Amino acid sequence: MSTSLLGQLAVLALAGLPALRLTGGARKHTVLVAGGVGYIGSHTVLELLAAGHEVVVVDNLCNSNLECLRRVQELAGREVAFHEVDLRDKAALGAVFAQHKPDSVIHFAGLKAVGESVAKPLLYYQVNVEGTLNLVETMLDAGCRNIVFSSSATVYGEPASVPVDESFPVGACTNPYGFSKFFNEQILRDVAKSHPELNVCLLRYFNPVGAHPSGRIGEDPRGIPNNLMPFLQQVAVGKRDRLSVFGDDYPTHDGTGARCSSPGGTFFAVHWGWSLPGSGLGWGLCLIQRGKTTLSSP
């Protein structure tokens, strides 16, 4: 599933929260996007701007570049308010809320590298879980009652079968990154129960890929990429000589691991409650197939 479509779904999910009903000519409002300079966040910011909403972005820029936000503003023909803030800095976050008084939050901020999370679990729990706690507490203190949380299909762990849908059990995660997303989901569920006025939507993604149709924004991580597609893209443009494929004894026709060829399964709520429709596709391309397909595309 492309990031542009994911951005549209995030806006749609926000529109479905019962306190807002943003569609059908409802008033425009102010949305704070945490992690809005990142890959999916930047595409969502562009969709929000295109829909006429005021956007405030907070991002610590640990894995993103302000050039991306500049291009978003160029594409939209509008500016956003940007604050370089780490969600662990609760005082700075509170100052942003006091200045802009956002109606809603879309929360993309967090670390996302599975391997790094195994090596640095404390960092992942500090950034992902502590950051979410600070964000939700600040929201409640400021009277902001609407949040869309960017979760992950890693909350399903290793599902017994595919395709995966929202009825599958969650919590049997295999790494600290996945657990951080699962913990955040549970935190939001518990807070929503204790604060009925809080409207929460959870989005679960399977490895999103792609870029904006303009080609001006896409996935451009700092340092060594943690996902397959940025590696392939860097080989295609000459940044890297080759793609290294690890493993040749997987139960696939060429022995290499498989990845979804159209990673959909975005889970979103367009109405209130906890209905999160969507599913994984259950089929994919082996790594060598994926590489050949990508590098041979015009």
Which residue, 207, 189, 178, 155, is CA-closest to 269? 189
Residue positions annotated with a catalytic role? 177
Cα–Cα dist 78/155, whole Å = 36
Q: What is the pLDDT of residues 68-79, one digit of tens each?
A: 999 999 999 999
Tell me, what's the pLDDT at 219?
66
Answer yes or no: is 286 within a domain.
yes
Query: Residue 9's domain spans which residues?
Result: 3-220+251-295
Tell me, what's the pLDDT at 225?
67
Answer yes or no: is 239 within a domain.
no
Is pLDDT of 56 > 90? yes
Reported as a pLDDT band with limits 50, 70 and 90, residue 5 is low
Answer yes or no: is 120 within a domain.
yes
Reported as a pLDDT band with limits 50, 70 and 90, residue 221 is low
Q: Is the pTM of this model over 0.75?
A: yes
Is pLDDT of 157 > 60? yes
Q: Cα separations (Å) of 135 from 22, 88, 126, 146, 237?
A: 23, 9, 13, 12, 38
Is pLDDT of 234 > 90? no
Answer yes or no: is 236 within a domain.
no
Contacts of 108 (CB under 8 A, 6+ apart): 33, 34, 35, 36, 38, 40, 41, 44, 150
Q: What is the pLDDT of residues 87-114, one digit of tens each?
A: 999 999 999 999 999 999 999 999 998 9
Reported as a pLDDT band with limits 50, 70 and 90, residue 258 is low
Answer yes or no: is 10 within a domain.
yes
Is pLDDT of 4 > 60? no
Q: What is the pLDDT of residues 187-196, one digit of tens each?
A: 999 999 999 9
173 touches 209 (CB < 8 A) = no
As a whole number, the mean pLDDT across the chain is 79
Is pLDDT of 276 > 50? no
Answer yes or no: is 203 within a domain.
yes
Query: How big is the chain by its Cα radius of gyration, in Å?
Result: 19
Q: What is the pLDDT of residues 8-42, one digit of tens each?
A: 656 666 666 655 544 444 457 899 999 999 988 99
Tell me, what's the pLDDT at 265?
26
CATH number of the domain encompassing residue 163: 3.40.50.720
Is pLDDT of 169 > 50? yes
Is pLDDT of 45 > 90? yes
Answer yes or no: is 238 within a domain.
no
Q: Lay out the sheet containing 30-34: strands in order across.
A: 81-83, 54-58, 30-34, 104-107, 146-150, 199-203
Answer yes or no: is 229 within a domain.
no
Most confident of 108-122, 240-254, 273-287: 108-122
In one letter, which amino acid is 130?
E
DSSP track, the chain: --HHHHHHHHHHHHHHSTTT--SSSPPP-EEEEETTTSHHHHHHHHHHHHTT-EEEEE---SS--HHHHHHHHHHHT---EEE---TT-HHHHHHHHHHH--SEEEE--S---HHHHHH-HHHHIIIIIIHHHHHHHHHHHHT--EEEEE--GGGG-S-SSSS-BTTS-----SSHHHHHHHHHHHHHHHHHHH-TT-EEEEEB-S------TTSSS----SSS-SSHHHHHHHHHTTSSS------S-SSSSSSS-EEESS----B--SSSSS----B----EEEHHHHHHHHHT--
Q: Which residue has the higher pLDDT, 242 or 207?
A: 242
How many domains are contained in the chain?
1
